[in-house]
Chain A
């Protein structure tokens, strides 16, 4: 992992949707700096110009300040622009324009104290059924052993592998407390709420090894609930999937493909 990409400001953005978020943050911080410095100069001017000293008296009549109305108007206009021109469209586009499900890689996430369990559907493209009653140390997501669709499912812990250039849709949930699925470089954050399955999507633009962090206090191990995000080229990703696929089914289970029909 390249440590040098992390400094005192935003880390690089490797997502398709993140550029607009970064742009909004940049506009916001310039606006904030402008306002603060403007106010600050006037504020310091007042403190120095109107300090108490012999022969100086205060002005009883309030000053007619047209400028303040303009400044407040300016703040209002900028806020309306930030709201309706930048933030809302970016948010709505990200939340509503979900990529075509057929083209996306689907992954499920079941978070727990203090690990991220990912379930990939395998070659058949179908997730095996899961249920809380099947959860055990060897079966962190509670995959139903009887369900044929689950036989080829790939389970990884604290390890999210995704390909570049393909939308990834993660259905996230939690088996115990609230966690928050946070990949800073992908500009993705979503709370995992037990009892709910919430969809999240993103698309990576370049390969690399990055971090998945838990953003919501989830107990004494919250700080070490860290995962790796490995973004591969499509070829490497396919290779990884093939290498890690569960071993081919033995004879008793060979009936499984037929059941599917």
Chain B
């Protein structure tokens, strides 16, 4: 505990509530803006990420107009976006490509990761391990303040000449090397954002290893903390290659090097004046070395949240807790050696492709085990269908669809046909949107009372859930049929192709699904703000939960706990026979 006291004291510049020092107020800007408190930083990350999730979704809603009604002027909004982007209200192909690239980038790097890791990781992990703060609070603050300029730069690039990045979120060279200046902004923004996650990841690893409360052994950690620990290692080890690659691409663009450019390129009839001798596939290897573990950075924290919510709402211990932990650790390791399954169509040798095909099939096994554990956790429960539980429950079949549809893409022979079709879009969106994002919504509803001291409204929450759940399936399910019909992704006008015209009716369905999904977020937004003032007040433990964050006041003060928590038992001791309550918290000596 001495380490903990020390870091907390030096890190925050003053003692925390329970060590006997006077608690003097920090000025507003130190308390809420440049704060070193993990809870404030968590909320900063969370709110920023929610804003960007909605912004990234808005970009997609614009694209959905063009896809449903190609070449028709967009009513009302079309005129507002200017003559360059939407001449006469009709979307320009360049603008469509910008929206596509920025939708992917924003949803992943400015939305889901910051919410899952920066938001929930920061807010919940120290509380769940009984620590007064992160190990390095100022590093934590630096992480957010490196991240935010990255986000601003990313979004501001829309206003550059030629617009924002438009070479896909994957930014494959040579296309990205010769793209307008928005691409340079994209690269610098990525450098900032990756630097920010590196700072964060080191902090998480040290915090989880060093600052656990007395009695909190690794096998007593909540599953969410295990998931965050594995995620932190992925961020630490997988993200630097893309940071390096981004610097190389910046060099290609600004210093006219040729890391990713081969000799003899002729663009628009003009030979490119470059040295040449580079290789565009180098970028793809570096990119996917990050971007495949990235998929697990998205999904693991969501799985962690789902585990917490399921245990709490089934009122029984998680089924196969240790198996779950072994599975996420194994997933973490395996995620480093599957990246080239994104590149089966680049002409790699059969030995390579067979290797990556095998590792890809192996990685599906722990995912199946995790899903099985979650479903078995429902068996024998006393299930309360609270709003967080609805989202967590829906995560299971949605993630199952996302996982299963990965099979035909991971197998080389079927990937020949399905690669780069809408099937891929359907597959990973099932993992990320109704999978991960539903998991994150479960987290918002579950921990909102801890962060604010008030509960979100259940009626609005259920309305939010049911409309979202139905609408989202109307968006992503039809994409599998479009993919089977052979429709390529990233097409500004799919009706150019006869096989695109065959599935054009589905594009109308998908677009209306997307707009309905947007409407479904209105009750959430109202709920989120209204409950700050009007939500039902709660005590420390409104969900009758067992993990350590529920020992702290709601909201927790500076330093988190009123008395130093001690852990007496496993994380999910619900419905222990012979006990008066159906929950036996980790932090109570008597059950």
Contact = CB atoms under 8 A, between A and B. Distances in A.
Select the residue from A20, A65, A72 with max chain B CB neighbours within 10 A. Answer: A65
Nearest to B268: A113
B494 A223 contact: yes
A68 B372 contact: yes
A157 interface: no
B401 A36 contact: yes
Task: Pick the most buried of B168, B378, B503, B506: most chain A CB atoms within 10 A of its CB.
Answer: B378
A46 interface: yes
Given A28-B407, A58-B382, A137 B269 contact: yes
Given A83-B358, A88-B354, A176-B174, A39 B400 contact: yes
B412 A88 contact: yes
Interface string B347-380: 1001001100110010011001101100110111
Interface in B161-194: 166-168, 172-175, 178
A249 to B, nearest CB: 27
B470 interface: no
Contact of A50 (B92, B262, B378): B378
A21 interface: yes
Interface residues of B, number: 99
Interface in B73-100: 92-94, 97, 100
Contacts of B97: 217, 219-220, 222
Query: Which of B350, B357, B364, B488 lies at the interface centre, i.e. has the most chain A CB atoms within 10 A of its CB?
Result: B488
Given A32-B407, A188-B416, A58 B346 contact: no
A20 B385 CA distance: 46
B555 interface: no
Interface stretch (A99-107, A145-153, A161-169, A208-216): A208-216
A86 B357 CA distance: 12
A8 B347 contact: no
Contacts of A215: 345, 419-421, 488
Nearest to A226: B496
Interface string B60-75: 0000000000000000
Interface string B568-591: 000000111100001000000000
Contacts, number: 299
Given A63-B376, A193-B281, A87 B346 contact: no
Nearest to B353: A91
A92 B574 CA distance: 52
Contacts of B536: none
A176 B177 CA distance: 11
Interface string A73-113: 00110011011001110111011100000000000000011
B413 A136 contact: no
B383 A50 contact: yes
Given A175-B266, A189-B345, A6 B498 contact: yes
A52 interface: yes
Given A39-B400, A52-B385, 13 more contacts: A28-B414, A31-B407, A46-B378, A50-B383, A59-B316, A59-B380, A63-B319, A96-B350, A191-B346, A194-B174, A211-B498, A217-B489, A224-B493
Interface of B: 92-94, 97, 100, 166-168, 172-175, 178, 262-269, 271, 279-281, 314-317, 319-320, 345-347, 350, 353-354, 357-358, 361, 364-365, 368-369, 371-372, 375-376, 378-385, 393, 396-397, 400-401, 404-405, 407-408, 411-414, 416-421, 481, 484-486, 488-494, 496-499, 501-503, 506, 574-577, 582
21 contacts: A8-B484, A9-B481, A25-B408, A28-B411, A32-B407, A47-B393, A50-B378, A50-B381, A52-B384, A58-B381, A58-B574, A58-B575, A76-B365, A82-B361, A176-B266, A177-B267, A184-B417, A191-B347, A193-B347, A222-B492, A226-B497
